[in-house]
């Protein structure tokens, strides 16, 4: 399955959101490879940077461990777990927050590669 196929399988209104999420991540991670991993659209750049997925009532963003994210105070009002943030469809999607998370993950991957 490709990311295009994944998005096409979702309801029309969700497809619009998923396409924008993909564009948002691609803009800050232009060198990342796109793939499906764990049945989710994923971006890979030496390691998995971020995944996203459509659920019935929310968009899930999976950047890995959230504890170290420097701007986690911006997660107030969102449901989170150890490695996921839920953006409910009944509220505006914070694409800037998604971009900031993805950019932070790119920096983490680049810093890790430099230290190896």
Render pLDDT for 50-93 as a digit per residue (tens, 0 to 9): 999 999 999 999 998 887 888 889 999 999 998 999 999 999 99
Q: Quote the CA–CA distance of 37 and 75 in Å, as a whole number.
A: 24
The strand ranges marked E within 55-95 are 58-62, 79-81, 84-88
- The secondary element (H helix, E strand) that includes residue 115 is helix 95-115
- Taking Cα atoms as reference points, which of 112, 102, 22 lies closest to residue 64? 102
What one-character-per-residue DSSP string does 13-38 give?
Answer: HHHHHHHHHHHHHHHH-TTPEEEEET
Q: Give me the pLDDT at residue 58, please.
A: 98
Tens-digit pLDDT profile for residues 10-64: 999 999 999 999 999 999 999 999 999 999 999 999 999 999 999 999 999 999 8
Task: Spell out the long-range contacts of 112-116 with Cβ–Cβ below 8 A and sequence spacing 24 or more.
Answer: 112/46, 112/47, 113/46
CA torsion through residues 115, 113, 81, 97, sign:
positive
Q: What domains can you pick out in the chain, each with its CATH number? A: 3-111 (3.90.1150.200)
């Amino acid at each position: 399955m490709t990311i295009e196929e994944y998005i096409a399988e979702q309801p029309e209104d969700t497809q619009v959101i998923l396409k924008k999420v993909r564009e948002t991540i691609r803009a800050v991670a232009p060198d990342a490879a796109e793939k499906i991993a764990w049945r989710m659209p994923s971006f890979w750049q030496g390691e998995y940077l971020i995944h996203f997925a459509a659920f019935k009532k929310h968009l899930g963003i999976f950047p890995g461990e959230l504890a170290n994210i420097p701007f986690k105070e911006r997660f107030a009002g969102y449901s989170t777990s150890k490695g996921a943030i839920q953006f409910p469809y009944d509220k505006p999607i914070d694409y800037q927050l998604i971009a900031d998370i993805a950019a932070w993950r790119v920096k983490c991957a680049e810093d890790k590669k430099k230290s190896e």
